[in-house]
Structure 1
Amino acid sequence: MKNVITKGLVMAHAIENINGKDCMFYVGETPWHGLGQKLNDAPTIGEAIDAAGLDWEVGLKDLQTVDGVPVSHRATYRKTDGNILGVVGPRYTPLQNRDAFDWFQPFLDAGECNLHTAGSLHSGQKVWVLAKLNRDNSEIVKGDETAKFILLSNSHDGTTAIRVGYSFIRVVCANTLAAAHSKTSGNKLIRIRHTRSSKTNLENIRDIMDNINSEFEATAEQYRFLASKNFNQVDVRRYVKTVLGIEKVNDNDIKTRTRNIMDEILTLIDGPKQSAVGVRGTYWAAWMGYNEYLNYRKGRTADNRLDSLWFGQSANDDMYAFNKAME
């Protein structure tokens, strides 16, 4: 991928941009989407917050009808500029950006991980922090490894819960953000509602996550199972038709646009990223080829694809494709 950092996004894009600066950072190699501020070394929490443009807090405003009658719901807003983020219920308590980052501090102090990327979507409505664990990668087949990450995502608009957990990300693909939030079995995410106790509940999760190696290995075994499961051309066409929801449609009746998408996915399944010995011709390649389509091809812009993979329909599609590959 060309090593480009994208600047000056227009408002139609999902990654927030303030004064020509993408509100996101990443460490090391430029990710697949090419967005954000590049950092050569792992940052401190303070440096990460600054690089990601997340040095702001969320407040709550009471709401009323046009006739001045108070209502139970409230609006969340960004205190630095008054930007309205969403409308939430009466029990909603924001998890501030600083608190989200501070959750990682014990892991950082123990040398267990380094902050890898963070940022915001849709003018601050959604925020994420991703840290890479300092642990050995898991090998699925020879030359095809998955790295281990901790992910925390949060919405300030009330549309999703706080989500935190461990995630596998395939090393051969620089699709860190998208893969991290996929809802497949490989990504164990715990959901916490935005209440007064959410910060305490979040802190308690650390104890659950201390002994996660067994879950990592169990997930790696699922991936190895996919790599041991071969397909023929009839099988893979049936698989792609199934994940596209056209398994009962006769080939001659498939619409042109859908046929083009199907052909594109089949090309990716047989493409260079799935060409390694032990990968090509397996359901690991089939699922990864479809995942590559969601990451790189579906949608009009890189950050809108990211948003859909994290919070929208593509996340559900990826989970469905994984489950079908496992059958």
Structure 2
Amino acid sequence: MPAVVEQMMFVGATPWHGLGNKVDADIGVEDAIVSAGLDWEVGLKDLQTVDGVPVSHRATYRKSDGSILGVVGPRYTPLQNKDAFDWFQPFLDAGECGIHTAGSLHSGQKVWVLAQLNRDNSEIVRGDEVCKFILLSNSHDGTTAIRVGYTPIRVVCVNTLAMAHNNTNSKLIRIRHTRSSKNNLEQVRDIMDNINVQFEATAEQFRFLASKNFKQADINRYVKVMLGIEGTVDADIKTRTRNIMDEILALVEGPKQSATNVRGTWWAAYNGYNEYLNYNKGRTEDNRLDSLWFGQNGNDNIKALEKAMEFANAV
């Protein structure tokens, strides 16, 4: 089976998924594009039926090698990789952030740029901090809109965390692929004005989780909820599901949750399940990366935070 990650670059320590080519810090946009293997453009091709009748949909393709990326609607306008990187240029020039990782998935169908903000980390409890990132992701196959969103990453275990999605301002910004999408991206720069406020809103939820201890019965129920087996008695849980449940419970009590002010709290509970999503669930590292940023693991990450907050609020 071909790798999900086609090519990528990263700055600093090897990312949690262990993928990519290391580059120097303070890399510029042009060098980052080349290092990430994204120095190619997307074109559009008209389509027709086997009988030669034109259809309204078109195919997207890589101009560098002619490979087809997807089939899109008549109003679809590609956002070129260079334009996606250029969105960060004003912030790079101002010293607000630095490009951290970038690359493509599924032979170029999906691309992303992750930039780390040059702002102080958010401390959840003593010795447990969260770094601040912005993720810009885009699909060239028409399956997802252009998205710009905040991404907290826990330093102690390099887990990608969920934002507090009950705050509507913190949700990923989705921009449709139209001729105005490039202009829309320029307007999205306004998010930088309140970015620390948004991150701190999420950090406050994390701190709340760290202030609430769980009971064993509740953590068992939490994991069952996340696995979709709430209400199932232990004797009726299938062996494979039981093994996954035990694996998650072990992570909740594991070494990455061993700090005195973390162990036994709902912050440990959420991070235990989050660690499962980041490192365990999925066949390979690149499959986990794809799912966490673009698929089901990302949805589960959000749900895990929301459910942890529900349980903690009931304490």
Q: Could you state the TM-score of these two structures normalised by the residue count of structure 1?
A: 0.91
Pairs aligned (count): 307
Check if 1:225 corresponds to 2:190: no
Higher mean C-alpha displacement, 91-100 vs 313-322: 313-322
Q: What is the CA–CA distance in structure 1 between the aligned matches of 2:74 and 2:3, rounded to whole Å?
A: 31
Residue equivalent to 1:94: 78
Aligned residue number for residue 111 of structure 1: 95
Q: Is the counterpart of residue 325 in structure 1 residue 315 in structure 2?
A: no
Matched AA of 2:5: I
Q: Is the 8 A contact 2:175 2:184 kept in 1?
A: yes
Question: Per-residue CA shift, 1:205-234, capped at 9, x if unaligned?
Answer: 102332222212111111111111110111
User: What pairs up with 1:70-219 in 2 under 5 angstroms?
Assistant: 70-175=54-159, 179=160, 182=162, 185=165, 188-219=171-202
* C-alpha distance in structure 2 between counterparts of 1:112 and 1:183, whole Å: 20
Q: Give the distance between the partners of 1:283 and 1:266, measured in 2 at CA.
A: 12
The 1-side partners of 2:249 and 2:255 are apart by 12
Q: Which moved more, 1:132-141 or 1:315-324?
A: 315-324
Instruction: Tell me whether 1:278 sits opposite 2:261 in the alignment.
Output: yes
Runs of 4+ in 1 over 4 A off after TM superposition: none
User: What SS does the aligned partner of 1:145 have?
Assistant: strand
Cα offsets for 1:107-160 (capped at 9, x unmatched): 000011111000000000000001111110000001000011111000000000
Gaps of 5+ in 1: 1-10, 17-22
Q: CA deviation at 1:183?
A: 6.4
Question: What is the 5 A alignment of 1:6-85?
Answer: 11-16=1-6, 23-85=7-69
Note if 1:305 corresponds to 2:288.
yes
Superposed displacement of residue 42, structure 1: 2.5
Q: For residues 270 and 319 of structure 1, what CA distance do their matches in structure 2 show?
A: 21
Task: Find the residue that maps to 2:275 and give its secondary structure.
Answer: helix
User: One-letter code of the match for 2:15?
Assistant: P
Q: Counterpart of 2:108 in 1: which secondary structure?
A: coil
- Specify the SS of the correspondent of 2:172: strand
Which one-letter code corresponds to 2:105 in the other structure?
Answer: L
Superposed CA RMSD in Å reads 1.3
Q: Which has the higher helix share?
A: 2
Q: Identical aligned pairs, as a percentage?
A: 76
Q: Distance in 2 between matches of 1:207 and 1:307?
A: 28
Deviation at 1:184, TM superposition (A): 5.2
How far, CA to CA, are the matches of 2:234 and 2:285 in structure 1? 31
